Amino acid sequence: MKCPKCQTENEDGSQFCLNCGEQLSPTAVKVSQPLARSPGHLLGILTLRAFLSILGLAVIRAILVRLPFTQGVRFSNFPFTIEVMISSVIYFIALLITIAYARSLRALWPQAYPRYVEAGTFLSALVYIGVLVAAYYTFLPIMVVLGAGAELISWFEIALLVFSILLLAWAGIALYRFLPAWLSGLRMSSFAQGSVGTACLNCGHINSTAAIHCSNCGNKLSA
């Protein structure tokens, strides 16, 4: 999507130009009340939202699978029980929430804590392991019901284990690189290179690092 004012190429679906802030959608509305005061504040809001959302999903699942009329539901010629369907949907939503939070964490941590970027890498790795756990609980019941053999399930588990090991190795290397700077209290400018985007303090949207204005709400991004 090209901006009619400055001719900058924007992502499809952008509400405002990332370069000049020009309105790209006729229905776009600028946010007047900032969502957060700083990147650290925004990261705290998004962390709490992700935690409460996953907690809420766990409560919803616990209620739904224990309802008397839920336990009695049976489908003829259908391999999935109502409990498996409810659990898979809940875990899939948790998977999407965790992925979105991991992306926000990677983008916001370097802005909020530029001296501790590598520590953010360690935290991101832990969140991504949470993504793998959510993926496991989402797809394992489906594989079992569809009659996947023990060998196929074992390969699925091995793949998740390998990804977990790689994530922990990535986190360990990042932490190893970070510890000397943390212990000495020195700031390393190279830490700031880990950012994957710039977060808008008005709406929380993650923009590209080249963006000057938020493509979602049009707010001018801080340096």
- The verdict on residue 21 lying in a domain is no
Range of the domain at 133: 39-196
Q: Would you state the structure tokens that stand for residue 158, as one six-digit string?
A: 């091995």
104 falls within a domain: yes
The segment with the largest mean pLDDT, out of 2-11, 13-22, 49-58, 133-142, is 49-58
pLDDT in tens, 70-104: 766 666 666 677 787 888 899 999 999 999 998 88
Start-end of H helices in 72-188: 82-112, 117-145, 150-184
61 domain-assigned: yes
CA distance 183 to 61: 44
Residue 30 lies in a domain: no
- pLDDT band for 189, please (50, 70, 90 cuts): very low
Residue 212 falls within a domain, yes or no? Answer: no
Predicted structure pTM score? 0.64
Query: Is residue 19 a part of any domain in this protein?
Result: no
More confident residue, 30 or 46: 46
Query: Looking at the domain assignment, is residue 211 inside a domain?
Result: no
SS3 letters for 60-100?
HHHHHHHCHHHHCCCCCCCCCCHHHHHHHHHHHHHHHHHHH
Q: What is the pLDDT of residues 116-174, one digit of tens each?
A: 777 788 888 889 999 999 999 888 888 887 778 888 888 999 999 999 999 889 888 87
Please name the residues in contact with 218: beta carbons below 8 A apart, sequence gap of 6 or more.
Answer: 15, 16, 17, 21, 22, 23, 28, 30
Q: Let me know if residue 207 belongs to a domain.
A: no
CB 89 within 8 A of CB 125: no
Provide the number of structural domains found in the chain: 1
